[in-house]
Structure 1
């Protein structure tokens, strides 16, 4: 199923990896692309590298804290033999279903030594950087093997896929979505399933690969599987390759059977936890009609691009982390022209492959628009195909706009193919010049800017030095103020750093995660929401932190606080000298202190925090 051919009339894909060896030394091209990709990834993430312990992603500091928590939990899991797919350390007393979140279990285990010795902050920025560089390099290798002969063509296509606007946008927090290498690696193995006599080996490899990738980027793996299925069916139905596809069908089906058995066995428990385990839920807690791609976004420029420096950035995304397309008009026009030019010069078997690629792009383009057409921030009463899929399993847990990331791969392939045409000088001189200029004009405006960062509160000595252990029983419950949420994530970070160091551990109420709308046991499927359902007492502190609002408390409020603290079994609350909000948000620390003092009385000064003891049987003060 490749468009690389030793001769123009060759078959679509050799039965084994037997492409003619490239001239010269291919490792030089590989090394050049790898170093370029790594340099660009470091450039994009340099704000974090300059001070990993104090700098956070200002556009999504909550997700960074969540993934740092997962990395710390990986060390805790290995040290305590705990369940990698469920934790009772957050959301006391119910816990969190990590399988229904993005558990990145493979990463947490592989990077556990680095996390333990250097901290989750270092592991986080390391993985983020390697994800971006690795995605570009993996796409380069894939295109070089299956699509184009020229290292330049493969390198340009790979760089685009690794550093496209959508993936730069997701570099604001998401270690799952920046793992764009999952797609080319999985697709590579899918294309090898047709090798005669190797169905058992290839099926085993793909099964293990799917199990590993599931724990890193389950939603991305779902999109990759869907795109692979659409591609294979479309390609196999094409007349020029129909006989070839029929001959390979038996081998492919046997390999897929092995894949299903292996992946099913390895994923039996995480899949059970994901769909039926305690604290599972339906949906994601995000509105699919809101998190859908605006049609005009495809024609716009992203907020972290050269174009944005000149005032051409757009605000059509729900937030800066979800700018999944934002290719700009020049690139869209280039892709249309490239598809036409490559199609006209392709022999029938190559057209079968190109048709399948374009069908994949078209399907995911339309699906990314969500259930209704959105144009320039207005939802129009025009239903789209996703409306029929939105309530189906898997689709109900997806965000439509992220489907545009598959279009990135299609555009990267088209970019590599048209560049190969230029390298081969198959275009007329005038057209050669025009296409070259068009590539520059299309890619230059979307060249990425580094992700934005901000200062975040340092870990208090009270936590770092282990002083907290004198105030909390073994495995007891403690909470920073305000309680941990996506926009007030400090408390979750302190727990992450404590887990990474090993030794005694505390639990916390609330936290930033995806969970059910109403806490409950397994078997009761609730709608998903972000974080724990808020209670009256934690909302007092959240409201004070976000808005500076100091409530006039009554004895009824204090009685409610007593009940809430008993529900969480909280033993200690503490307030650091600094608290951090997202997107340079100013949090009102003084309002939090005033609220806590009014509710609980004067605090103790311990190290660099204020401490309020909540002992069993001792009620909040009454006034």
Structure 2
């Protein structure tokens, strides 16, 4: 196909991916500020706060450790999946339309951009037939694991820099002599690695593991000429050197800086794949099985639900093309990743066994200890996409009898996995007190406004109030990862202050507290600790009456301002 004729076809493919992503997320679009992803609204509230915080960079605040959340101690953004790169990239959208709109754009945009990237890599770099490239790109973007992670795990679906990273590696592998092209490609690879660090560090980690495994298997199978080793190693060395320079300080800050935390928060045994899950159909697919949900930790972790038909097609394709090193390397690497996804102990049909998995050999290693085993299966998705793209290409271009049968078989295996639109729920609007700027009368810029009750990992929705101001006010507590476990280990959230505990009890029970002088004295200590300017209660809170009565007892009668009650801190 001539170059001038490629662009309309490629543009059409990109448009198709965008349309599919829009359909998948269409329930968010009628009112992003008043809707949330039903399966993970808490992480969405956190993501929206991160996106709003990124706009502070446009005002000159580039802090990677900030006291705007968990005031006054703050949070280390690099110890959290803080969407730094995406937040900076789409900050103009956030400033113009708000963080909920940016969040919705990213849910759809990550999938569309990832699919387009893989399609172009398959079609342009690997020379795969456009039909195979389209199928491979669609699977890489809309596989059940990617759709599942779209439930507010934007750092996991932001994989659109991975195809360019792979392109650089392929480009280095095809050079037989070191030269300026090697240098340029190596430096570009280093820059892309650094960029992916800020877009999604976990995706970068999984990509590195996958490429390392793939390279070992490919070399063992293909035994390429030693002439390619020198430019390949030189290019990778340049990439590693540049990435090390660019990321030295961020990595130090992440692991040793203020508010950094040791170890992982989540138990690998809890976030492990069930052996049965590989043959199950995701509940988020059109042909989904709701009963399969019991096999995983939650609806954002349907990472292994590939379905038996697809696995059989992949197996058949691998056997048919076993002489092709790239196909064999993809298949073997995928199997290794599947085994790692099983976690430290193999689980079968939701029942733990005494059989250790390969992941148990890695437990306790730096970085690995923070990894969630089930997500290794996400890294296998592009590998399966390679096999699907290659087998369709081989059938169409090299055979007469299979040119129709193989593509039909591949599509038939994929149809049950086609995603249904993501479910959403209505959520309470952010009070006009924040969206319309009334807060400025009661708190200075960057001042601390205390929501009543305070946000925590179980209910972080009040973090949206600060997000609606462009993170111009600070919030105590919240949903984040910090050094609040035993001996400074990583933990989710912070232990609440006494006043926060009091307000939480009222919110849970619906009964106003009998306020004592001791409670008032404790409140003043907490106000001094938080450096609070004001306390705010949404009049629509289900327990607004009891909470207002309690706050009146603590600070005296509050002020009704628009749709909130406000108490100035003394």
Matches within 5 A, 1:9-24: none
Structure 2 residue 379 is the aligned partner of structure 1 residue 406: yes
Asked whether 1:105 is paired with 2:67, we answer: no
- Which residue number in structure 2 is paired with residue 606 of structure 1? 561
1: CA distance, partners of 2:279 / 2:553: 53
Q: CA deviation at 1:614?
A: 2.6
**How has the CA–CA distance of structure 1 residues 58 and 595 changed in structure 2, closer, same or farther, with 3 Å as cutoff?**
farther
CA distance in structure 1 between the partners assigned to 2:483 and 2:251 by the alignment: 17
Is the contact made by 1:231 and 1:356 (CA closer than 8 Å) also made in structure 2? Answer: yes
Alpha carbons of 1:549 and 1:134: their partners in 2 closer, same or farther (altered >3 Å)? farther
Counterparts of 1:22 and 1:384, CA distance in 2: 50
Who is 2:223 aligned against?
A: 242
Equivalent-residue separation in structure 2 for 1:549 and 1:263 (angstroms): 56
Q: Displacement of 1:313 after TM fit?
A: 5.1
Please state whether the residue corresponding to 2:450 is helix, strand or coil.
Answer: strand
Give the counterpart of 1:388 among 355, 361, 374.
361
Q: Which structure 1 residue ranges, 4+ long, deviate > 6 Å from structure 2? A: none
TM-aligned CA deviation for residue 557 of structure 1: 4.5
* Superposition deviation, residue 473 in structure 1: 4.2
Kept in 2, the 8 Å contact 1:301–1:314? The answer is: no
In structure 2, the residue matched to 1:515 is: 482
Deviation at 1:367, TM superposition (A): 0.6
Alpha-carbon contact 1:89-1:508 (below 8 Å) kept: yes
* Aligned equivalent of 1:208, options 172, 175, 191: 191
Correspondent of 2:73 among 94, 113, 118: 94
Given the alignment, which residue of 443, 446, 452 partners 1:472?
Answer: 443
Deviation sequence 1:158-205 (CA, Å, 0-9, x none): 101100111111111122111122322211111212433222111110
Match of 2:430 in 1: 459
Q: Secondary structure at the match of 1:323?
A: coil
Paired residues of 1:298 and 1:327 also in contact (CA < 8 A): yes
The answer to whether residue 222 in structure 2 is matched with residue 222 in structure 1 is no
Structure (1/2) with the larger helix percentage: 2
Over aligned residues, Cα RMSD in angstroms? 2.4
Aligned pair in 2 of structure 1 residues 287, 25: CA closer, same or farther (>3 Å)? Answer: same
| CA separation of 1:462 and 1:408: change in aligned 2, threshold 3 A | same
Q: Distance in 1 between matches of 2:208 and 2:509?
A: 44
1:271-286 matches, cutoff 5 A:
271-286=251-266
SS at match of 1:222: helix
Structure 1 Cα separation of the partners of residues 297 and 12 of structure 2: 37
- Please say if residues 61 and 486 of structure 1, whose CA atoms lie closer than 8 Å, have aligned partners that are also in contact: no
SS in 2 for 1:267: helix
Maintained 8 Å contact 1:43/1:450: yes
Give yes or no for contact 1:37–1:136 (8 Å, CA) kept in 2: yes
The C-alpha deviation readout for 1:218-271, integer Å capped at 9, x for no partner, is 011011011111111221223xx4241x21111122112211221112112211
2:280 matches 1:300: yes
| Gap change, CA 1:389 and 1:573, over 3 Å in 2 | same
Could you tell me how far 1:568 is from its partner in structure 2? 1.5
Alpha-carbon offset, residue 428 of structure 1: 4.5
Does structure 1 conserve the Cα–Cα contact (< 8 Å) formed by 2:32 and 2:104?
Answer: yes
State whether residues 480 and 490 of structure 1, in contact with CA within 8 Å, keep that contact through their aligned partners in structure 2: no
Contact (CA 8 Å) 1:572, 1:613: kept in 2 or not? yes
Q: Distance in 2 between matches of 1:578 and 1:368?
A: 43
Partner Cα distance (2:410, 2:356) in 1: 35
Conserved? CA contact 2:132–2:392, under 8 Å: yes
User: Partner of 1:15 in structure 2?
Assistant: none
Where do 5+ consecutive residues of structure 2 fail to align?
A: none
Tell whether the 8 Å contact from 1:148 to 1:417 is kept in structure 2 after alignment: no
Distance 1:231 1:125, change over 3 A: same
Shift, 1:318, TM fit = 1.0
Pairing of 1:475-494 with structure 2 (within 5 A)? 475-494=446-465
Contact 2:128 2:390 in 1 (8 A): no
1:70 and 2:50 are equivalent in the alignment: yes
Match of 1:564 in 2: 526
**1:550, 1:594 within 8 Å by CA — same for their partners in 2?**
yes
Distance 1:233 1:460 in 2: 56
452 and 422 in structure 1: CA distance in 2 versus 1, 3 angstrom threshold: same
C-alpha separation in 1, matches of 2:4 and 2:473: 58
Equivalent residue in structure 2 for 1:155, among 115, 131, 134: 134
State how many pairs are aligned: 566
Distance in 1 (CA, whole Å) between partners of 2:283 and 2:267 is 23
Moved more, 593-602 or 283-292: 593-602
Q: Distance in 1 between matches of 2:535 and 2:228?
A: 64
Residue 322, structure 1, aligned to residue 264, structure 2: no
Residue 119 (str. 1) matches residue 98 (str. 2)? yes
Give a deviation string over 1:303-327, Cα, whole Å, max 9, x none.
211123x756533221111111211
Aligned ranges 1:132-143 → 2 under 5 Å: 132-143=111-122
Q: Which moved more, 1:315-324 or 1:553-562?
A: 553-562
Question: TM-score, structure 1 length as denominator?
Answer: 0.85
Q: Say whether 1:450 aligns with 2:431.
A: no
Query: Secondary structure in 2 aligned to 1:30?
Result: helix
Are 1:576 and 2:555 matched, yes or no?
no
Specify whether residues 457 and 33 from structure 1 end up closer, same or farther in structure 2 by C-alpha distance, changes over 3 A only.
same
**Greater displacement, 420-429 / 269-278:** 420-429
Question: Which of residues 246, 270, 283 is equivalent to 1:290?
Answer: 270
Q: 8 Å contact 1:282–1:397 — kept in the other structure?
A: no
Q: Secondary structure at the match of 1:320?
A: coil
Deviation by residue 1:579-623 (Cα, 9 ceiling, x = unmatched): 5xxxxxxx65555445444554543212210122331xxxxxxxx
Alignment match, 1:169 = 148
Equivalent in the alignment of 1:5: none
| CA distance 1:549–1:335, change in 2 (3 Å) | farther
Once the two structures are superposed, what CA deviation does each residue of 1:461-505 show, in whole Å capped at 9, x if it has no partner? 2112322222224532111122123442332112112126xxxx3
Contact 2:396–2:404, Cα closer than 8 Å, also in 1: no
- Contact 1:293 1:370 (C-alpha < 8 Å) held by counterparts: yes
Structure 2: distance between partners of 1:556 and 1:366 = 56
Shift of 1:559: 4.1
Q: What is the deviation of 1:404?
A: 0.8
Q: Could you say what secondary structure the match of 1:138 adopts?
A: helix
Using a 3 Å threshold, how does the CA distance of structure 1 residues 23 and 258 change in structure 2: closer, same or farther? closer
In 1, are the aligned partners of 2:65 and 2:259 still within 8 Å (CA)? no
TM-superposed deviation, 1:283: 2.8
Q: Kindly tell me: are residues 400 and 542 of structure 1, through their superposed partners in 2, closer, same or farther at Cα, counting changes over 3 Å?
A: farther
